[in-house]
Amino acid sequence: MLLQVTDLRVTYGRVEAVRGVSLNVDEGEVVGMIGANGAGKSSTLAAITGSVAATGDVQLDGRPLLGRRTEDIARLGVALVPEGRHIFGTMSVEENLRLGLTARPRRLRGSARADLDAVLDRFEVLRRLYGASAAHLSGGEQQQLAIARALLSRPRLLVLDEPSLGLAPKLVDGIFSLIGELRDERTTVLLVEQNAQRVIAFADRTYLLRRGLVAHHGDAASFRDTVDVKGAYLGLETTA
């Protein structure tokens, strides 16, 4: 088991946003996390990546993460592609990518050039726009840049928060195709997505959060047999 989260709780003042979430991610899996707005998904990710204080237990390959600084968690191998991408528009594509290289462990610094070339081979548009300002990229190009930057840190766990948000359907297909390629390469992914039906069908396993708790967990067959995702549980439309 690569990531193990046990009885995670996140509180903002008197509001308990996460009320005892437990989940796990095995190496090489794509694990989904879905739920309505306010279900606790973003707070769970923030706790895992060190952005908010939390109680409970979060371990990456047996090493505790709670209480560590965000940059230290990144160097242990957790890379977050945040909702909204958060690329640096005042910097070039190259400069954004090189930020990913700084987050990798020191023992991997020697392979930086080869890894950068490999990422540019995968994301050809970034090679073409290498010297351009990141602010001039389209939404889909910015998402590719955000994912490429995260991959350059050589993560053991890649955390994707709403990677399809605001993208056209064709670009969403491209994002899921990319995640599928990463799974084939044994990259471990924790995927939070608004498109619940697609995540359930795509991921190896999915966690449904509701009001800060895990309401259901399982593979696609388990959801099909047990949970009305379209209707009463989430109030989300089914996407064909």
Split at pLDDT 50, 70, 90, the class of 239 is very low
Number of domains making up the chain: 1
In a domain, 240, yes or no: no
Q: Does residue 42 fall inside a structural domain?
A: yes
Average pLDDT of the chain, as a whole number: 90
Quick one: pLDDT band at residue 86, thresholds 50, 70, 90? confident
Mean pLDDT of 144-166: 93
Q: Are 215 and 221 in contact (CB under 8 A)?
A: no
Average of per-residue pLDDT across 189-216: 93
Best CA proximity match to 167, nearest among 143, 135, 199: 143
CB 95 within 8 A of CB 101: no
Helix (H) or strand (E) holding 140: helix 139-151
Residue in the structure block whose two tokens are 């910097």? 91
In-domain check, residue 60: no
Q: What CA–CA distance (Å, rounded) separates 73 from 103?
A: 10
Does residue 6 lie within any of the structural domains? no
Residue 14 lies in a domain: no
pLDDT of residue 232: 38
In a domain, 20, yes or no: no
In-domain check, residue 76: yes
| 44: containing domain | 28-53+68-233
**Residue 238 clears pLDDT 90, i.e. is over it:** no
**Residue 85's pLDDT is what?**
75
Q: Report how far residue 240's alpha carbon sits from residue 54's, in angstroms, rounded to the nearest whole number.
A: 37
- Summarize the confidence of residues 189-205 as an average pLDDT: 94
Between residues 227 and 11, the one the model is more confident about: 11
Percent of the chain with pLDDT over 70: 92
Asked if residue 9 has pLDDT above 80, the reply is yes
* CATH code of the domain covering residue 78: 3.40.50.300
Q: Give the pLDDT confidence score for residue 214 in this predicted structure.
A: 94
pLDDT tens profile 97-143: 999 888 776 666 668 889 999 999 999 999 999 999 999 999 999 99
Q: Is there a domain that residue 238 lies in? A: no
Question: Model confidence at 230, in pLDDT bands (50, 70, 90)?
Answer: low
pTM of the entire predicted model? 0.91
**Bigger pLDDT: 81 vs 237:** 81
